[in-house]
Chain A
Amino acid sequence: MASLDELTKSAATLSNLHIERWKGNGGRVIGSYCTYVPVEIIHAAGMLPYRMRATGSTSSDLGDVYAYRTMCTFCRHSLDQAMRGEFGFLDGLVAFYSCDHVRRLYDVWKFGKVDFPRSPFYLHFMSIPMKSDEETVEWLTSVLGRFRRSLEDHFQVTITDDALRESIRVYNERRTLLGRLYELRKADAPPLSGTEMLGIMIAGTAMPAEEFNQKLKDLLEELKGREGFSGYRARLLVGGGELEDPDYIKTIEDLGGLVVTDFLCFGVRDFWIPVEEDGDPLRALAKRYLERPSCPRMIDYPRRQEFLMNLVKDYKVDGVIMQRMKYCDTWGGEGAIMEWDLKKERMATPYMVLEREYMMGAVGQMRTRVQAFLETIGR
C-alpha cells in the first residue's frame, strides 16, 4: 500500500515533502481556513492551495495572548503556530466569515501579530454568502472576480478563463476519484478505514492537485487486492467541524466502530458535487460552492439534514457521532437541532454529540462514551 502510506505520511505534519519540493521550485502557497474558498482560482494562478491546520501543535500559550479562552482550541493552536512562524511556506492567506472564531483569527493575522514568512504577505477576505439561491450565486460570482483580480494584482500574474477551466477539470477529476474511494466504503467489508480516509483527505489539501490525483489513481489500483475490514461492531458516520487528527478516528475504530462515511470538511463537504465545466467558470464555481453539502455556517439546516440522512441510508450507517470542538458555536447549535429531529424519530439512527478539544486529552472519557454508544447500538 505504497500510495496509502505516502498519503497518510504527508498528512501527519504541517508541511511535507510535496510542499518542500513545490517551494524548492519557486512555487507559491496560499493558505485558507475553510473549504468554502474555491481552490480552483488559486490553482489557476499557478499556486498551491493549502488548507490551514494546526497539526503538531502542543500548546496554545503564545496564541492565547490574542485568542481569548472562549475561542475554539483549533483557532488558538493555529494562531499559536502562526505566531511561532510555523507557516514559513505560506505566501498568503485568504479567509472569509467561516465563523466568529476564524474571522477574528484572520483579523489577528491582518494586524500583523503573527510571524509573517515574507513581505509583502498576501491577505484577502471574501464576503461569501450564508445562503444559496440565484441572487447569492450572482453576488458570489462578483466576489470571486475580485478575489481573482486581487491575486493577479498582488503577484503580478494573469488568471485566464482557460486556466480556470483547466483547474476546474483537475479538481473535478479529484472529486470523481474521491467519489470512487467513498463508493468502495459502501461495501460490507470496506477496503479503507475511516482513519486512513481522513489521512488521505488531509494529504489532498497539502500537495499539488495533479500529484494527488495520480496518488488516488494508484491507490484505487492497490485497493483492488486488499482484504476489506470486517468483524466491526457498527458502521459509523462521523460528522462535525474541523477534524484533522486521524488518531481521533482511530480511537473510535479501535473500539470496534468502523467509520464508513463522514460529514466533515476534511471529507464529504470538501469534494461532493462537481463544478459545471461549461459557461462562465467563475459563475460555475460560485454555483458549486453554494450548492455543495453545507456546513452550519450556511443557513439551510433542512438541506443539511436531508443530505446527512441520505448518507446514513447509502452507507448503511448504524450510528452517527457528531464531534464538536468545545466553544464551537455553529456545531453546538447544529448538534442540538439534529438531536431534536432525532427525538422526533424522523431519523431513527442512534446519534451522539461528542465534545472534544483540539488536542486529544481526555481519551479515557472519550473511550467510555464511544464504547457505551457502540453498546447502545447493540450489535
Chain B
Amino acid sequence: MEDNLKIHRSVYDLIKGATPPGLLARWLGGVINAVDEGKPIVYHPFTTYNEIMVAMDVVSLCCEAWDIVGLQVDQDHAIRSVDAAHEAGIPPELCSFDKAIIGSILRGTIPKPAAIVQAGMPCQNAYITCQAAAALTGVPLFVCDTPYDLDEDGALDHWVNQYKGMIAFVEEHTGKKMDYDRLKEVVEESNRCVEYWLEAAELMKLKPAPRSGPLSQGTLAGMMSFGTPEGTAGMKALLDEIKDKVAKGETAIPEEKARVIWFHFQVFWDNPLMGFINELGATVPYVLFDDFRVEPVDTSSTERMLRGMARRALQSPMGKVGCGKVEILLDDMLYAAEQWKGDCIIIGANPGCKWFTGAYGLIRDACRERGIPLMLYDVDLVDRRVTSAEESRTRVEQFLTTVMDR
C-alpha cells in the first residue's frame, strides 16, 4: 500500500509546506494521514457534497478527485487503472472515470474505505461503480435513492429521508456521531464558498471575459472538502483575482473573437487545451461544472438545513443534469449560451457517458432551432488514447474557424 500511494504522497509532499495550507493539501493530507494511522475512510461520489463527513470529522474520499490528482502528475495513472478494469472484465464502453476507480481499487492505488456512500446518483455507471467497489473491498454500501424529478410531489421529503439514512449509516460504520451544531458551522462555511463561487461565475458573464477556463477551485472544493475554511479561502482568492482583473480592465485575451460554452467537464488530462482555445482567439467563460446555481442552505433549523443540503446536492450540475429528465440538460445549455453570451457550444464528452451522448440528437435540434453553432465530439476525460491531444485540437480549431468566420 505504501508504495501504491506514492504518486499521491509525492503530490502531498510538494504542497504541504504552503501557508496557509491549500484545499488540496488539507484533503490529501487528511486522507494520507488516515491511511497511515488506520482511521476509517468513507468513499463518496462528487455529487454527495461532503459537509456531512466534514462535520462528523470522518475522512472522506471522492474517488474521481483521487484519480484526477493522480492524472496531474502522471498522465498514465488513470490509464493503468482503466486497463486494470478492462483486464478484470469491465467492458471498454463504460465511463472511464468509473473504470479508473474500479481499476484503482484493483491495483490498490486508492486507499481502502471503511464504508461507501452514494447520493445524488448522476448516471448508471456510478451505480455500477459503487456496487463493484463494495464487491471488491467487501465494505458496506449505502445508496440514497435519488428521485428522478425533484418537483414531483413528495420527492424532496423522500430524498431528505435518504440523506438522514446516510447520516445514520456513516455513524454506524465509523463510530463517529453527528454534531448538528458543528454541521451548522460547516454548512455556513459552504454557503460562503458557494456565494463566492456564484459571484465569480457571474463575473465570467462579462464580455470580453476577464478569465477563461474552468473555475476549478470550486469544483475542487465540491469534490474534496466543501465547508472547510481552506475551500472557502481558495474560492475567495479566485474571486478576488477576477474582481481585480475586472477593476483594472484586464481581459483573458487581448481580442475575444468568440466565446465558447464548454458544456461538459474539462478534459482532465489535457489542461493546455483551454490555452489552445485562447490562442485561437476564443475564450471559455463557461464550463459545465462551474454552473453551480443553487440557493443558500437555510441553517435556521436542523430539518431545514438537511432539506437545503439535500436539495443542493440535486441542484449541482452533474446532479441535476445527470439525474433528471433531458429538459433540465437542454434548459441549462441554452441558459448558459444566453447568460454567458456564448457564440458556440462545444461538448466533448466521454463516449461512455450515455446519459449525455443519449441526448445528442435533442441537443443538436435545440441548438439548430436557435442558430447556435454546436460541436459534439468524443474525447475521453481521463484516457488520452481515445482521442489524442492533436486530434482534439484539430477538431476544435476547425470548428472555431467556422464560428469566427461567421
Contacts and interface: CB of A to CB of B under 8 A. Distances in A.
Do A and B touch directly, given a CB cutoff of 8 Å in the complex? yes
Interface of A: 65-68, 70-71, 96-97, 99-101, 103-105, 107-108, 110-111, 113, 125-127, 129-131, 135-136, 139, 142-143, 146, 296-297, 299, 301, 324, 326-327, 329-330, 332-337, 339-341, 353, 355
A297 B127 contact: yes
Contacts of A324: 91
B362 interface: yes
B147 A68 contact: no
Nearest to B125: A329
Contact size class for B?
35 or more
Contacts of B75: none
Nearest to A132: B145
B91 A100 contact: no
B58 interface: no
B93 interface: yes
B145 A332 contact: no
B124 A125 contact: no
Given A108-B361, A135-B161, A329-B94, A100 B152 contact: no
A10 B358 CA distance: 32
Given A70-B354, A127-B152, A330-B128, A335 B89 contact: yes
B360 interface: yes
A332 B326 contact: no
A99 B145 contact: no
Interface stretch (B131-139, B240-248, B281-289): B131-139
A353 B91 CA distance: 11
A130 B127 CA distance: 9
A146 B358 contact: no
Contacts of A296: 127-128, 131
Given A107-B325, A336-B88, A100 B354 contact: yes
Given A66-B361, A333-B94, A100 B161 contact: no
A177 B184 CA distance: 57
Interface in B171-188: none
A339 B89 contact: yes
Nearest to A129: B145
Interface centre among A70, A96, A111 (most CB of B within 10 A): A70
Interface centre among A96, A99, A100, A131 (most CB of B within 10 A): A100
A339 B358 CA distance: 28
Given A127-B155, A135-B158, A332-B94, A337 B131 contact: yes
Interface centre among B94, B149, B155 (most CB of A within 10 A): B94
B357 interface: yes
Nearest to B352: A70
A301 B134 CA distance: 10
Given A104-B359, A107-B326, A146-B152, A337 B132 contact: yes
A131 B89 contact: no
11 contacts: A70-B352, A104-B354, A131-B143, A135-B162, A139-B154, A142-B153, A301-B131, A301-B135, A329-B352, A332-B128, A340-B89
B121 interface: yes
Given A107-B326, A336-B90, 15 more contacts: A101-B354, A101-B358, A107-B325, A107-B362, A127-B147, A130-B145, A135-B161, A135-B165, A142-B154, A326-B93, A329-B124, A332-B128, A335-B89, A339-B88, A339-B89
Contact of B124 (A113, A301, A330): A330
